[in-house]
Amino acid sequence: MPFDGIVTRAVTEELNTLLTGGRIQKIYQPTDSEIIITVRNKGKNHSLLISNHATYARTHLTSQKFTNPKEPPMYCMVLRKYLASGYVEKVEQVEMERIIHLSVRSKDEIGDENNKKLIIEIMGKHSNAILVDPERNVILDSLKHISPAQNRHRSILPGQTYVAPPEQGKFNPVELEPSTFIKKLDFNQGKMGKQMLNLLMGCSPIVTNNLAEQAYLGSESTYKEVFEKFQSQLINHDYQPSIIKGDKEDFHVIPFSNSQDAKHFDTVNEMLDTFYYGKAERDRIKNQTYDLMRMLKNERDKNERKIKKQLTTLKKAEKADEYQKKGELLTAHMHLVNHGDSKVEVMDYYDPNQNNLSIDLNPNKTPSENAQSYFKQYQKLKKSKQVVEVEIEKAKKEIEYLERIIQQLEQAREVDVADIREELEEEGYVKQKQKGSKKKKKKMLSPDYYTSTDGTEIIVGRNNKQNEFVTTRLANKEDYWLHAKDIPGSHVLIRSNKPSEETILEAAMIGAYYSKAKLSASVPVDYTLVKHVKKPNGAKPGYVIYEQQQTVFVTPDGDKIEALHKKDTTQ
């Protein structure tokens, strides 16, 4: 994902056009690594996303919605103090580096003009957003604090002098003379893409490799021609924002010679917003749920081992009737047994042919004690068989429940994780946090809402708490209820007692998409009336049984489902 200096140049140009002269209205910090600044300019609101995410560091305008914390973090409060209600003076890039300066003019508490600069550094895990007083070049605060112990060349702390990242000794491709560019290349050395990467400022490997491919095995004049064309694109801001398909999805603003399968966009911001949509959130969720996922999988594996062990015991218990038979035959032939015998041959009355049966004896026991020993073994195995069958069924239900939770975590959004963690605490899988003196406020559950093509409302739960809320609280008895057949998944509700066939298929597609079979080509989905759905007493959260169902087969399609999603619904 090359958010390099060229992409930074392209996005900066757009931001400068759209934001300059605009007024900062809102500032939020939804996560530890992300800032959202809303700027109103020329009658339109623009949401600027600034992220120092280790993998998905970026800056662009976004149309995505974020969930903000109840209490704003300290850095967010500092930004509000100095930037809120201020006007964006300009947005500029430093040379061809991945550094953007957002200059803001505002007024302080006594009405004096107050100029501040937000320096956005997009450098992978070293990314940051630093608020600076430009007159004194002093850091007021930063999204990430870097102490001298972490970086002795450049500390980033409030009160410190701002020091720019060290230069890499490269040449700005906008200013570099083509003839000088050719002189800097060693054509005998080869590896031209790598040479250009070490030579040109702000260029990522995807750019320099593409330039090398265009001039492949060409003369100096060919390389000069390729560079001049590339330089002209940068100088004239001649961009073609595209998401490139392939083995690994990528993006850039410079058209590539080998990018036949690409999706083009009108603006750089639109391309970036589309490319990064959901990626950072999924990464955060993966980190948040890592311990939960590991615990759940360990519990599942433990139950699977338990079943395997219990099946061995069950197989042994199936011989219980043999012990009963030997005890009865031994009792019937007691007169043939002498004290000290280790074996006795008796007639097997249970055998249609009445063949003899050899019965092993304990020579240290009397004939009666040997018979009682067989009866005791029979009773023990008979009882263990009953217990083992119950334990196996219990372990199977436990695995089924754990599989449902695992599937829900795999498809969870950030707002769903808290519901799932709370459920696991209630079920005893996760240790509950110490309860404070204040009574815990009941949380509002928020299932997803969709509208079918013919206007019918469809509701889907994304975790067990939401599933139960949808099925037991929101549903009417005559509404239609759906669930992927014999597969862990979500409860889906059609708010209609006479849905069209099209609506049933669309709801079934949603049910298939939010199930373990999300990637399958054909998924069976059951549907029935809500009145035929019941939760057994003592069942785990989200578990129901149903009857009088019909089944349809559908193929999950994320794009079609997204088109049905009611994003702005407030329930």
Q: Would you list the domain boundaries of the chain?
A: 5-142, 178-279, 287-410, 448-564
Residue 217 pLDDT exceeds 80: no
Report whether pLDDT(439) > 70.
Answer: no
In this prediction, residues 241-253 reach a mean pLDDT of 84
Phi-psi map region of 211: left, alpha, beta (phi>0 left; psi -120 to 50 alpha): alpha
Alpha-carbon dihedral sign for residues 318, 319, 325, 331: negative
* Residue 571 pLDDT > 50: no
The whole-number pLDDT of residue 570 equals 37
Give the mean model confidence (pLDDT) for residues 531-548.
93
Can you give the pLDDT at residue 325?
Answer: 86
Bridge-based pairing state of the strands 58-61 and 44-51: antiparallel
Q: How far apart are CA 466 and CA 445, in angstroms?
A: 6
* Residue predicted with more confidence, 170 or 316: 170
pLDDT score at 277: 84
Give me the CATH code for the 5-142 domain, please: 2.30.310.10
Mean pLDDT computed over 102-117: 88
Looking at every residue in the chain, the average pLDDT score rounds to: 90
At 554, phi and psi to the nearest 5? -135, 160
Q: What is the pLDDT of residue 531?
A: 96
106 token code pair: 């505002």
pLDDT in tens, 49-83: 999 998 899 999 999 888 788 899 999 999 999 99
- Which pLDDT score, from 0 to 100, does residue 259 have? 57
Q: Give the highest mean pLDDT range of 24-33, 368-377, 430-439.
A: 24-33
Task: Examine the pLDDT at 517 and tell me if it is beyond 70.
Answer: yes
Q: What is the pLDDT of residue 569?
A: 42
Summarised one tens digit per residue, pLDDT across range 360-415 is: 899 999 989 888 998 998 888 888 888 888 899 999 999 999 999 999 998 888 77
Q: How many helices (H) does the chain have, and how many strands (E)? A: 14, 22
| Mean pLDDT value of segment 116-137 | 95
* pLDDT higher at 352 or 47: 47
Instruction: Give the pLDDT of residue 514.
Output: 94
Give me the long-range contacts of 89-95 (CB less than 8 A, separation at least 24). 89/20, 89/115, 90/16, 90/20, 91/12, 91/15, 91/16, 91/19, 91/20, 92/12, 92/16, 93/5, 93/8, 93/9, 93/12, 94/164, 95/5, 95/172, 95/201, 95/202
Q: What is the pLDDT of residue 257?
A: 63
The predicted model gives 85-96 an average pLDDT of 95
pLDDT of residue 568: 45
Confidence of residue 258 (pLDDT cuts 50, 70, 90): low
User: pLDDT tier at 97 (50, 70, 90 boundaries)?
Assistant: very high
Q: Using the structure block, give the residue that is written with the tokens 């009865």.
A: 328
For the stretch 146-197, pLDDT in tens is 999 998 889 999 999 999 999 889 999 999 999 999 999 998 888 999 999 9
Asked if residue 559 has pLDDT above 50, the reply is: yes
% residues pLDDT > 90 (the chain): 62
What class has domain 178-279? mainly alpha
State pLDDT tens for residues 334-358: 888 888 888 898 888 888 777 888 9
Q: Tell me the pLDDT band of 562, cut-offs 50, 70 and 90.
A: confident
Q: Specify the range with the lowest mean pLDDT, choosing from 27-41, 217-231, 314-328, 543-557.
A: 314-328
Q: Model's pTM, two decimal places?
A: 0.66
Same fold, 5-142 and 178-279: no
Starting at the earlier edge strand, list the strands of the sheet with 480-484.
448-451, 457-460, 492-494, 480-484, 523-529, 550-554
Instruction: Quote the pLDDT of residue 76.
Output: 96
Which range among 54-68, 309-323, 458-472 shows the weakest confidence by mean pLDDT? 309-323
